[in-house]
Structures are given as structure tokens and as C-alpha cells.
Amino acid sequence: MMNDTSQTFTKVKARHILVADEALCNSLKAQINSFEDFDRLAREYSTCPSAKVGGDLGIFGKGVMVPEFDEVVFSAPLNEVQGPVKTQFGYHLIWITNRK
């Protein structure tokens, strides 16, 4: 059986929390024990417009997001909080919910 990192995926569904500094990002990550925690913290702290929907970015393909973000969402395990991931926009926590 192949694991996620050895397959080629073209679409991903993910949520994220975007904040300005790494310390806050790490603090939020430590508070996340469930999907409900992630949703609540995204709504409260994320500076991205997606905060209104719990950080939901919907389904997107490769190359839509910045390279650092793409690298994580197309290779990291599903349903585990990834990050902090630094991009030009700030620091992200990422929850990948599906790939195909």
C-alpha cells in the first residue's frame, strides 16, 4: 500500500489559520486538540478572510497557493495540524482534510 507522500495528488481541501508572528502561531497550535478547536481559533485569530468560515480554503489545485503552502498541503499527513509554515503573508497552521 502506498502512503500519502508517494502518491501524486492534483487537488487538496484544507483549512488554515494565518497570523503575523511565529510565537502566536505556536501558542495556537498548542491549543488545538480537535477539529472544533481549529475552527474556533481560526475564526478568532486568523487574519485571512477565510477566518469567517473557520479557515476553510475549499478545494484547490497545485500552484494556486504560494510554494511553501503548496509543499505542505500536497505532502503532509491528513488531519494533523501542520506548522508554523512561514510565507510572505505570515505564519500558517494548516489542517489538510482531503486529497485526490
Q: Measured between alpha carbons, how far is 35 from 13 in angstroms, rounded to an integer?
A: 14
Q: What is the mean pLDDT of the chain?
A: 93
pLDDT digits (tens, 9 = 90+) for 41-99: 999 999 999 999 999 999 999 999 999 999 999 999 999 999 999 999 999 999 999 99
| pTM, to two decimals | 0.90
CB-based contacts of 57, cutoff 8 Å, min separation 6: 13, 14, 15, 16, 50, 65
**Which structural domains are found in the chain, ordered by start?**
11-99 (3.10.50.40)
Q: Measured between alpha carbons, how far is 38 from 88 in angstroms, rounded to an integer?
A: 22
Residues 70 and 12: beta-carbon distance below 8 Å = no
Cis peptide, bond prior to residue 84, ω within 30 of zero: yes
Q: Measured between alpha carbons, how far is 57 from 60 in angstroms, rounded to an integer?
A: 8
pLDDT of residue 23: 98
